């Protein structure tokens, strides 16, 4: 059984008068509990594929299933529910809400899920402590370092107990020590909670932590194998 399965996925973007083929017939399957990486240079198609897996964009042709649901045929409402309850996102730019504290940012997804206030506050505090942010619950993003903001983003992605976490270049804005610490934290959560992680990256350090590296070039899979 695959947690994510893509079959002959194609995607082309129009930029001015040019057509750019982002994905050219990609097929792959990600098993539950994998800690895998989509690796490749800028423009290879890895972020496009990650966005399609998360239902943030739509395929031109082919199909994608997430947790046995074909998302390419879903309504926007059903996709929104899938993203809310099944998928955690970690973005390169953090995407935290600047007027909310770290605690409130982490609580936000659970607020949308209608989790009772007492429970969501307890869960948010616990995961912030788990990610090394005890004592910083009430700081806003502008009062946190880049590494701390990314830890808040990871906590927000994991607090709702998703089946899968999609992380787009999560170490791109971090120094190597901070990035390594963040990856080790996610690896631990992968082991302990069984969450499936899929990264897009060209960072060798992320690839070192992956159990599987799927290399993409010019919108195609050119190599797929176990890391190490």
SS3 sequence of 113-139: CCCCHHHHHHHHHHHHHHCCCCCCCCC
Look at residue 203 and tell me if it is in a domain. yes
Query: What pLDDT, on a 0 to 100 scale, did the predictor assign at position 27?
Result: 93
Which of 141, 160, 179 lies at the terminal end of a domain, its last residue? Answer: 160
**pLDDT tens-digit map of 136-155:** 999 999 999 888 898 898 88
Q: Nearest 5°: CA angle at 190, between 189 and 193? A: 70
Question: Considering only CA atoms, which of 16, 46, 24 is closest in space to residue 210?
Answer: 46
186 within 8 A of 127, measured Cβ to Cβ? no
Q: Is residue 91 in some structural domain?
A: no
- What is the reported pLDDT for 226? 62
The structural domain count of the chain equals 2
C-alpha distance from residue 27 to each of 9, 57, 65 (Å) = 7, 17, 11
148/207 same-domain check = no
- Ranking 98-102, 189-193, 196-200 by mean pLDDT, the lowest is 189-193
Q: Is residue 137 part of a domain?
A: yes
Tell me: pLDDT of 228 over 50: no
Residues 25 and 55 in one domain: yes
Within-domain flag for 199: yes
The answer to whether the Cα torsion of 18, 24, 30, 35 is positive or negative is negative
* pLDDT at residue 93 greater than cutoff 80: no
Residues 152 and 194 in one domain: no
User: What mean pLDDT do residues 106-127 have?
Assistant: 93
Question: What range does the domain containing 152 cover?
Answer: 96-160
Interval 6-62: pLDDT, tens: 999 999 988 888 888 899 999 999 999 999 999 988 888 888 999 999 998 889 999
Beta strands in the chain (DSSP E): 4-15, 18-30, 35-39, 61-66, 69-70, 87-90, 164-168, 196-201, 212-217, 220-226
171-183 residue pLDDT tens: 877 788 878 888 8
121 is written with which tokens?
Answer: 């506050």
């Amino acid at each position: 059984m695959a947690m994510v399965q893509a079959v002959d996925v194609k995607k082309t973007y129009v930029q001015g008068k040019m057509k750019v083929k982002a994905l050219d017939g990609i097929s792959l399957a990600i098993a539950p509990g994998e800690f895998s990486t989509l690796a490749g240079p800028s423009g290879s198609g890895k972020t496009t594929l990650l966005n399609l897996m998360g239902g943030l964009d739509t395929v031109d042709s082919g199909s994608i299933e997430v947790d046995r649901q074909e998302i390419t045929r879903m309504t926007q409402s059903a996709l929104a529910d899938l993203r809310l309850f099944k998928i955690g996102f970690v973005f390169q730019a953090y995407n935290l809400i600047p007027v909310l504290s770290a605690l409130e940012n982490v609580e936000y997804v659970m607020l949308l899920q209608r989790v009772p206030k007492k429970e969501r506050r307890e869960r948010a505090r616990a995961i912030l402590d788990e990610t090394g942010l005890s004592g910083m619950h009430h700081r806003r993003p502008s009062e946190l370092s880049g590494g701390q903001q990314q830890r808040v983003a990871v906590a927000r992605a994991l607090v709702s107990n998703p089946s899968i976490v999609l992380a787009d270049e999560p170490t791109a804005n971090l120094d190597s020590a901070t990035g390594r610490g963040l990856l080790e934290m996610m690896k631990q959560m992968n082991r302990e909670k069984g969450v499936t992680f899929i990264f897009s990256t060209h960072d060798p350090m992320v690839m070192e932590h992956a159990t599987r590296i799927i290399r993409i070039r010019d919108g195609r899979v050119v190599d797929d194998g176990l890391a190490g």
